[in-house]
Structure 1
Amino acid sequence: MKIITNNQYTLKYEEEKKGRLDNFISEQVTDISRSQIQKFIKDGEVLVNDSVIKKTGFKVSNGDVVTFTVPAEKPIEAVPENIPIDVVYEDEDVMVVNKPQGMVVHPAAGHPDGTLVNAILYHSKINDDDLIRPGIVHRIDKDTSGLLMIAKNNLAKQSLMHQLKEKTNLREYVAIVHGNFKERKGIIDAPLGRSKSDRKKQAIVDDGRKAITHFEVIEQFEDYALIKLRLETGRTHQIRVHMQYIGHPVAGDPLYGPKNTLNGHGQFLHAKTLGFEHPRTKEWMEFTVEPPKIFTDTLNKLRG
């Protein structure tokens, strides 16, 4: 039995064999993550037969009634924060910033502040009606470093988004990946979509969105390689999933890579070069920034 009234859940355990409380709730309520459910239990938000239970491994029995209320989510809105950022270029229409590894691009559930957007709003004026992603036309992952273009007004936003759609801009990355390559360069054309087994991941799926990545080996080491990548499309986790797909996962990648990998602060992936047509002047603009110190230090160790 499952009854949902507003944000309140009432579940009845109807199995002869006892089961774990957190497992039972996860099976019944699939739109809430297991980690969130465990937090609700530990915070005393879950009742079994009207008694508060704080043990995730508590055994529920046949006929037990489990109740809990999911707290209403607070509305997310980006607010200016005095966070230092590396502005590579800026004029009245666009900004180019070098995002550090470990910084989320825009506010979202779990990351309501401390993002690149919060920093940009403090340092510059962005005219955009989007309250959560003002100025954002493309993203890179939290633990990926490198260049992002920011639109400061509607003219710039429409132009930059059109260039992304038409694939006329330039986005090149460098990465340290696992394994030895037989070929020096190649093209990965494999559709991406949400993984059917793990909703935190993306995967190669037949009915996914078209995704194309070009790669070229720059240096080959004993068990790793330094490669250059160019995005033709920009899907979520595209490079990371594509490199795993061809047997060369990005080193340090906690989601798509092996456990035995290079020590760092996440994946060794850096958005090194960015090029686009200026929305107002139509001039071609191109920017390059070198990877962070941990990336270059690791490269030097591999060379040594």
Structure 2
Amino acid sequence: MKQWIIDETQQNERIDKVIVSLHGDTSRTHVQKWIQDGHVKVNNQLVKANYKVQEEDTIALEEPEVQSTEIKAENIPLDVVYEDQDVIVVNKPRGMVVHPAPGHYTGTLVHALLYHCNDLSGINGEARPGIVHRIDKDTSGLIVAAKNDHAHEHLSQQLMNKTTIRHYKAIVHGVLSHKKGTIDAPIGRDQKDRQKMAVTDKNSKPAVTHFTLEETFQAYSYVTCELETGRTHQIRVHFHYIEHPLAGDPKYGYKKTLPIEGQALHAETLGFVHPRTGEDCLFTAPLPADMVGLLEDLRKQD
């Protein structure tokens, strides 16, 4: 059982939102299900998800046991960059979905991991075993999965504390005017299109992306991006916001773009502290062939 006592800074916040911020390893939807199923009490009383907490309230969470996954393992080849008893780092190909979701019930990274690994952490439930963070379907590159709950909690805390290293390579429309820059703009659900994210002040969270210009072409720029936060579609939304959307981006980009299936975005570098040894781990993955080809074509055009 986990318990927290509310202080004055959290007063009048919804309990589901408070638990997400305190727990750190779950989604608001997951918390609302816990509340609905009676796993959360305030001062020994059951409450609803819209309950507004008060100073000195005692919240008690009895997390339900994680059910074993019913997703069937699939023999899908994996590009494993590193693996030990606690973590596995994979170079995910463009086009692979990370975990099962509507429209994607087979062929995901989770299905492949279940075949490759003897066990995975259960914190994120039966649909997302081992998954600590995600990258988009059409973004290639490095992702780490946890093989046990201790590793999962440790890695999740590093993400929350912004101590992980995450560098991406991207090809964007237009020629950037600065060698270095920071995009500091909050991201939330797009009010006009719920399938998209947007820079907005409404129901948003802070989002910060640092970028370095690597190379320029006639109508494109090649950049390195460093994530300080990890919001959904963050790099794609931020570069759309500054009017330099990613090449090939079907959701936030231009119709006329470079020939690539999905956005030209690659998670090149991933660094974290190992959850068991405490050692600094740093991994890199080379650009996928399609992005290498795009850069070669752009250089020939100049």
- Whether the TM-score (by the shorter chain) exceeds 0.5 is yes
In structure 2, what is the Cα distance between the partners aligned to 1:157 and 1:144? 22
Structure 2 counterparts to residues 45-60 of structure 1, below 5 A = none
Note the C-alpha offset of 1:164: 0.1
Note the C-alpha offset of 1:113: 1.2
In structure 1, what is the Cα distance between the partners aligned to 2:231 and 2:136? 11
Note the C-alpha offset of 1:167: 0.4
1:218–1:155 distance in 2 versus 1, CA, 3 Å? same
- What's 2:3 paired with? none
- What's 2:166 paired with? 171
1:246 correspondence with 2:246: no
Instruction: Find 1:143's aligned residue among 128, 132, 138.
Output: 138
- What's 1:255 paired with? 251
Aligned residues: 229
In structure 2, what is the Cα distance between the partners aligned to 1:110 and 1:255? 17
Note the C-alpha offset of 1:174: 0.2
- What's 2:154 paired with? 159
SS at match of 1:159: helix
1:291 correspondence with 2:284: no
- What's 2:92 paired with? 99
- What's 1:225 paired with? 221
Q: Cα deviations across residues 128-147 of structure 1 (Å, max 9, x unaligned)? A: 33211101010000000000
SS at match of 1:102: coil
What 5-or-longer segments of structure 2 have no aligned partner? Answer: 1-68
Identity %: 57
Opposite residue 214 of structure 1, the aligned amino acid is: H
- What's 2:299 paired with? 303
In structure 2, what is the Cα distance between the partners aligned to 1:77 and 1:168? 33
Note the C-alpha offset of 1:125: 1.9
SS at match of 2:198: strand
Q: Cα deviations across residues 88-110 of structure 1 (Å, max 9, x unaligned)? A: 00000000000000000000111
Opposite residue 90 of structure 1, the aligned amino acid is: E
- What's 1:31 paired with? none
SS at match of 2:160: helix
Opposite residue 179 of structure 2, the aligned amino acid is: R
1:236–1:77 distance in 2 versus 1, CA, 3 Å? farther
Instruction: Find 2:264's aligned residue among 254, 265, 268.
Output: 268
Q: Cα deviations across residues 33-53 of structure 1 (Å, max 9, x unaligned)? A: xxxxxxxxxxxxxxxxxxxxx
- What's 2:112 paired with? 119
- What's 2:49 paired with? none
1:80 correspondence with 2:42: no
Q: Does the Cα contact within 8 Å between 1:77 and 1:107 map onto a contact in 2?
A: no
Note the C-alpha offset of 1:155: 1.0
In structure 1, what is the Cα distance between the partners aligned to 2:78 and 2:173? 31
1:214 correspondence with 2:210: yes
Q: Does the Cα contact within 8 Å between 2:140 and 2:288 map onto a contact in 1?
A: yes
Structure 2 counterparts to residues 200-211 of structure 1, below 5 A = 200-207=195-202, 208-211=204-207
Opposite residue 92 of structure 2, the aligned amino acid is: K
Mark the structure with the bigger radius of gyration.
1
Question: Which runs of structure 1 show a deviation greater than 3 angstroms over 4 or more consecutive aligned residues?
Answer: none
In structure 2, what is the Cα distance between the partners aligned to 1:89 and 1:200? 34
Note the C-alpha offset of 1:126: 2.4
In structure 1, what is the Cα distance between the partners aligned to 2:275 and 2:256? 45
Q: Supply the RMSD in Å over aligned alpha carbons.
A: 1.0
When normalised by structure 2's length, the TM-score is 0.75
